[in-house]
Amino acid sequence: MPWPKVCLVGLGNHAKTKLLPILVELYDLNQISTVSSQINNANNIKNNFYSISESFPHNKSNCLYILSSPPKYHYSQAKAALLAGFDVMVEKPCFIDSSELQDLIQIAKSKKVLLIEMMMYLQNKIVNIFINNLRFDINKIKSIRSQFIIPSIPLGTFRNEKSLSSSLLADIGCYPLNFLSESGFDLREVEIETDKNLNKYFFYSKKLNDNHTSFSCEFGLGNNYSNYIKIIYKNDNFIQLSPFYYGRKGKRELTINMNNNIKIRNVIEENCFKKIFLISRNQWCKTQNTRFHNMIQVTETLQKLSKQVNLPSN
């Protein structure tokens, strides 16, 4: 394993159902610790702490801290762990204040430790093919269309739309912005509209680059679940993948339209929640500067767009 120990901070539903089972599968129980205001021994974890600072002496060094707490706590918890010399993974959206992110980046560099945003969907092989195709065919792309609609907000989560840190704008909107940044686009031309009565947002851009590639994305609440991305070429051929922003093991439906000949194939992907913990520390080090660039670009864009729809930061 890349790290001999892991510490999971925050035991909400996401952590208990998706992250902790994977950690229990990969690590011996004595190599796992948790930080939570509510101690949960459902997985027989013995090393439980009420505060992140309380856990530092136990973990000492060579421990990965995984932050699965609400975004408003990410900065203080990540700063404490980084200053203590630990590598840190942070659930998306990692940060909603660019100045705080810049502060953490400087700490990570000075301490020579890792700061990683957990964008699980990027561990899908087919997603990386899409990203590489976009970069390679950038002059041929007419538009990018995307949708990420969920039928309801899960109970017991931090999302209440009272601030950027608790909003669907940050929680779901970070996905398409991250994808654009990973694909090499400049996010400064992305604009936003919203229908607050429906808890729905719309990203759009008429010009993502000098080739006038357009972009639109509808996300938020709706009647039916929808999660896809569609890349349309200037000759009207297109490729579409659904679900796209998705990390669980299972089927992805790939639709290819080539000269009005449509083919549909199923792609089976592995569990991205597991794959991300198996990436070597050396590989994370190699991509750190690129990841920092994308994190900053997405965070600055979320801040700008939140002001346009009158969402306070906290």
Write the Ramachandran bin of 188: left for phi over 0, alpha for psi from -120 to 50, otherwise beta.
alpha
Residue 47 phi/psi, 5° resolution? -95, 80
Query: Please, are residues 252 and 246 in contact by the beta-carbon 8 Å criterion?
Result: yes
What are the DSSP calls for 203-243, one per residue? EEES-SSTT--EEEEEEEE-SS-EEEEEEEETTS-EEEEES
pLDDT for residue 80: 98
pLDDT for residue 157: 60
**Positive or negative: CA dihedral 182, 175, 133, 249:** positive
| Token code pair at residue 154 | 């899960």
First to last CA, the chain: 37
What is the side-by-side strand order in the sheet with 47-49?
47-49, 32-35, 5-9, 63-67, 87-91, 115-118
pLDDT for residue 101: 97
pLDDT for residue 155: 57
| Token code pair at residue 306 | 């939140």
Tens of pLDDT, residue by residue, the chain (314 residues): 899 999 999 998 889 999 999 999 999 999 999 999 876 666 788 899 999 999 999 998 799 999 999 888 999 999 999 999 999 999 999 999 999 999 999 999 999 999 999 999 999 999 999 999 899 988 899 999 999 999 987 655 666 667 888 889 999 999 999 999 999 998 999 999 998 777 789 999 988 888 889 999 999 998 899 999 999 999 999 999 999 999 999 999 999 999 999 999 999 999 999 999 999 999 999 999 999 999 999 999 999 999 999 888 77
List CB contacts of 276: < 8 A, sequence separation 6 or more. Answer: 89, 118, 120, 123
Cβ neighbours, 10 Å, residue 263: 9
pLDDT for residue 210: 86
* Inter-CA distances, 308 with 98, 204, 279, Å: 17, 13, 38
Residues forming beta bridges with residue 65, ordered by sequence position: 7, 88
The reported pTM is 0.94
Write the Ramachandran bin of 62: left for phi over 0, alpha for psi from -120 to 50, otherwise beta.
left
Closest CA to 168 of 132, 201, 122: 201
Residues forming beta bridges with residue 147, ordered by sequence position: 218, 228
d(CA 286, CA 167): 32
Total residues belonging to the chain = 314
